[in-house]
């Protein structure tokens, strides 16, 4: 149950986190505007904050008494804290900087002359992005998704703080390992779960490495 929930939580974290990561990466790589440095700092903040602090901040903001959490609950009946959706949100926030960095590297490697040529031929900014830029950075987006997914599989601190450790609901694989270690004689179960976690991580890292090599070949053409 914990393995299946972990895979689902990580998948949702990537699916919902990748579009804003793409937007943030594009803004940081292409635009010059006041507050750009502040945006870059906010994007990378989860990298330097303890995960427990990130989870606590999410609880303050998205809890049922938080400004956004109360609004979501009163208007749409959506509650994020202590739910699997909240676990996905916590994972998404923690992996967000990694995804932004991977996409941004792809954007900065794109030949701007190709985009300028498309604009001179009459393409709008949106057409240029969809038909020129996005295909060129597609491998980078794939790397961002895979790297983020692998990182989300192992997220612990932010998830347990914001979503708690509820078996069958929010208990992901890292939390299940932690719980097993707290029970006398639970080392065997913890070892089995740790083995599954290692296999998932190796598979994800292998896929990310393969995608990274594909990115290098793609950009080398």
CATH number at residue 182: 1.10.3720.10
Q: Taking Cα atoms as reference points, which of 76, 58, 84 lies closest to residue 152?
A: 84
Tell me if 216 is assigned to some domain. yes
Q: Which residues of the chain have pLDDT under 50?
A: none
Tell me if 76 is assigned to some domain. no
Please enumerate, as own/partner, the contacts of 131-134 that have beta carbons within 8 Å and a separation of 24 or more: 133/107
Tell me if 53 is assigned to some domain. no
What is the number of structural domains in the chain? 1
Domain with 42, as residue range(s), is 2-48+91-150+169-220
Render pLDDT for 184-221 as a digit per residue (tens, 0 to 9). 888 899 899 899 989 988 888 887 777 667 666 665 55
Render pLDDT for 105-114 as a digit per residue (tens, 0 to 9). 888 887 777 7
């Amino acid at each position: 149950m914990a393995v299946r929930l972990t895979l689902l939580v990580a998948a949702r974290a990537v699916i919902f986190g990748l579009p804003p990561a793409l937007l943030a990466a594009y803004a940081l790589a292409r635009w010059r505007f006041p507050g750009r440095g502040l945006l870059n700092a906010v994007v990378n903040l989860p990298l330097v904050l303890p995960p427990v602090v990130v989870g606590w901040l999410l609880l303050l903001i998205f809890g049922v008494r938080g400004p956004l959490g109360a609004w979501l609950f009163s208007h749409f009946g959506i509650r994020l804290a202590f739910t699997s959706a909240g676990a996905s949100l916590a994972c998404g926030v923690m992996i967000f900087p990694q995804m932004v960095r991977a996409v941004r590297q792809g954007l900065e490697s794109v030949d701007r002359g190709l985009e300028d040529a498309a604009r001179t031929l009459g393409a709008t900014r949106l057409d240029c992005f969809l038909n020129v830029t996005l295909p060129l950075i597609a491998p980078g987006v794939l790397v961002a998704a895979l790297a983020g997914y692998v990182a989300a599989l192992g997220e612990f601190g932010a998830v347990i703080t914001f979503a708690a450790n509820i078996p069958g609901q929010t208990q992901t694989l890292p939390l299940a390992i932690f719980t097993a270690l707290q029970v006398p004689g639970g080392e065997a179960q913890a070892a089995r779960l740790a083995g599954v976690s290692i296999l998932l991580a190796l598979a994800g890292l292998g896929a990310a490495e393969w995608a990274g090599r594909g990115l290098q070949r793609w950009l080398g053409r």
